Amino acid sequence: MAEIRDEYDSPWKDILELYFEDFMAFFFPQIHAEIDWARGYKFLDQELFQITRDAEVGKKVVDKLVKVWKLTGEETWVLLNVEIQSQEESVLEERVFTYFYRLKDKFNLPVASLVILGDDRNNWRPRTFSQSLWGCRVEFEFPSVKLLDYELQWADLEASPNPFAIVTMAHLKTKATRKDLQSRKEWKFRLTRAL
């Protein structure tokens, strides 16, 4: 089980840390345009750990918290939830909301929660958490990107210079060739050459 989990999530952790700006440009270009990249960015692993200690262990999830500055000069935190698992998670929306409000409560800074979905179910597209009771209502919306949607943009992925185009292709082909080791090997060589 750990081997399968590492097959998907470890490469995502590594490339997110190496190419965070490219990640934002590829998946969230509108947000990328509002960040002051000249000021840099900083991963806040310790701060994220403080609010996720009691999170379920063994989930195929890459969670990253990154400090950035908007072009207006305001410090902002970006919470990334990259859902690598190949099945729906019924509590994803609530978990994203919980992380958001814990960060807001503990650090009192603006937080943007962004979700990447790496599963293979076309109809699972979580974007909202809501709860109501006796006239009290909470509604929390977050942007999410479905990697499966990029299958229809394969030519664009191949033409893109962004490293996350290759990461997306590798993710899609890893899932598609799960039971065909020969095709998987051929795709590994092809995508490696594309790098």
The distance in angstroms from the start CA to the end CA of the chain is 29
166 found inside a domain? no
For residue 84, the model assigns a pLDDT of: 61
pLDDT in tens, 5-38: 444 456 777 888 899 999 999 999 999 999 999 9
- How do beta strands 75-83 and 111-117 pair? parallel
pLDDT in tens, 69-105: 999 998 888 887 776 655 567 788 888 898 898 888 8
Host domain of residue 112: 2-153
175 found inside a domain? no
CA distance 129 to 51: 19
Of 134, 126, 132, 55, nearest to 93 by C-alpha is: 126
107 found inside a domain? yes
Tokens of 195: 């790098």
Residue 147 has pLDDT above 50, yes or no: yes
Confidence of residue 2 (pLDDT cuts 50, 70, 90): very low
CA distance 154 to 161: 13
Query: For residue 30, how many other CB atoms are within 10 A of its CB?
Result: 8
Counting the structural domains of the chain, the total is: 1
pLDDT in tens, 102-145: 888 888 888 899 988 888 888 889 899 999 999 999 999 999 99
